Amino acid sequence: MMTFLNYLLSGISLGSIYAIIALGYTMVYGIAKMLNFAHGDVIMVGAYICFFAVSRYSLPPLLGVIAAMAVCTVLGVIVERLAYKPLRSAPSLAVLITAIGVSYFLQNGAQLLWTPNPKVFSSVVGTNRLALFGGQLTVSYVTLVTIASCVVIMVALTWFTGKTKTGKAMRACSEDKGAAQLMGINVNSTISVTFAIGSGLAAIAGVLLCSAYPTLVPTTGAMPGIKAFTAAVFGGIGSIPGAMLGGILLGVIEIFSKAYISTQLSDAVVFAVLIIVLLVKPAGLLGKQVREKV
């Protein structure tokens, strides 16, 4: 029983990381209607910034996380302005190819700037563990902080998009950019803010990911980025609660697949479940079918 609970907590922790990354995907897609496949590499940049801030410049871990968020926020805005804004009216294939190009640019830039690799990332919350049930179950502080961070971020984003002026502008742009512009909303600034928030969240996800899995290389964010995109689709891309639900379910499925089926087949099981869900519910678990007028 305790082994099962341990796997479950590990799955929820990993899923929480996927959920935080997926929130960035789902916000950008929901508002700009584009898939930013370079998002996974922003995770890697955030992890490197935190690593150097703490190890080289001896900053406290909290300041290292804040520095990573600041750099990634600026990076997200720059990428949007230089790479995606000129393609606002371009075909989706052009945006997709550009996103892949930005991804490889960030990976190769990291390989040139931050050698040698890999680097051993020290957990920002330490390696202590909390003993439960008389020591029969131990939970790392990283797991607890990751789960708590995911819940806080999801609640904060839900409040932000529902109650603030900028959040309401994001929702208006998501519904109809043309109508939002006619109502006086600055669509370009709203999309930039969306990229900034998504990239800041990616930095948090990168730090939490490398705290749990301490090996840091320039391709660290590639596979988690793909899985987080899968989680966003799983939960219903464009839905903030859907991104959280999809991420957590994906993490739990992955950990249980590794534990009870096969480590080598765990990714195949994850994507097989996604295919089955989309066959039954094409819009995702919490997504809504959108009817297009002809």
- Walk me through the domains of the chain, giving residue ranges and CATH numbers: 2-280 (1.10.3470)
Summarised one tens digit per residue, pLDDT across range 16-47 is 999 999 998 888 888 888 888 899 999 999 99
Q: SS3 sequence, the chain?
A: CHHHHHHHHHHHHHHHHHHHHHHHHHHHHHHHCCCCCCHHHHHHHHHHHHHHHHHCCCCCHHHHHHHHHHHHHHHHHHHHHHHHHHHCCCCHHHHHHHHHHHHHHHHHHHHHHCCCCCEECCCCCCCCEEEECCCCEEEEHHHHHHHHHHHHHHHHHHHHHHHCHHHHHHHHHHHCHHHHHHCCCCHHHHHHHHHHHHHHHHHHHHHHHHHHCCEECCCCCHHHHHHHHHHHHHHCCCCHHHHHHHHHHHHHHHHHHHHHCCCCCHHHHHHHHHHHHHHHCCCCCCCCCCCCCC
Amino acid residing at 152: V
**Maximum distance among all alpha carbons in the chain?**
64
More confident residue, 206 or 127: 206
Q: SS3 sequence, 109-128?
A: HHHHHCCCCCEECCCCCCCC
Beta bridge partners of 140: 129
Q: Pull the structure tokens for residue 67.
A: 């520095």
pLDDT of residue 209: 95
Summarised one tens digit per residue, pLDDT across range 137-155 is 888 999 999 999 999 999 9
Residue 292 pLDDT > 90: no
Quickly count: other Cβ atoms within 10 Å of residue 137's Cβ. 16
Whole-model pTM?
Answer: 0.93
pLDDT of residue 151: 93
Q: Give the confidence band of 132 by pLDDT, cuts at 50, 70, 90.
A: confident
pLDDT of residue 290: 56
Query: In the predicted model, what is the mean pLDDT of the chain?
Result: 90
- CA dist 251 and 257 (Å) reads 10
Contact 205, 198 (CB under 8 A): no
pLDDT of residue 50: 96
Q: Give the confidence band of 130 by pLDDT, cuts at 50, 70, 90.
A: confident
* Percentage of the chain lying above the pLDDT 70 cut: 98
More confident residue, 294 or 157: 157
- CA dist 266 and 268 (Å) reads 5
pLDDT of residue 282: 84
Summarised one tens digit per residue, pLDDT across range 250-284 is 999 999 999 999 888 888 988 898 888 888 888 88
Sign of CA dihedral 96, 101, 104, 105: negative
pLDDT of residue 131: 83
Rg (CA), the chain: 19
- CA dist 271 and 277 (Å) reads 10
- CA dist 156 and 144 (Å) reads 18
* Percentage of the chain lying above the pLDDT 90 cut: 58
Q: Give the confidence band of 291 by pLDDT, cuts at 50, 70, 90.
A: low
Q: Give the confidence band of 289 by pLDDT, cuts at 50, 70, 90.
A: low
Summarised one tens digit per residue, pLDDT across range 156-192 is 999 998 899 999 999 899 888 888 988 889 998 999 9
pLDDT of residue 288: 67
pLDDT of residue 240: 86
- CA dist 210 and 61 (Å) reads 13
Residue 5 pLDDT > 70: yes
Residue 82 pLDDT > 90: yes
Contact 180, 33 (CB under 8 A): no
Tell me the backbone φ, ψ of residue 33, rounded to 5 degrees: 55, 40
Residues in CB range of 4: below 8 A, 6 or more apart: none
Summarised one tens digit per residue, pLDDT across range 207-236 is 999 999 999 999 999 999 999 998 998 888
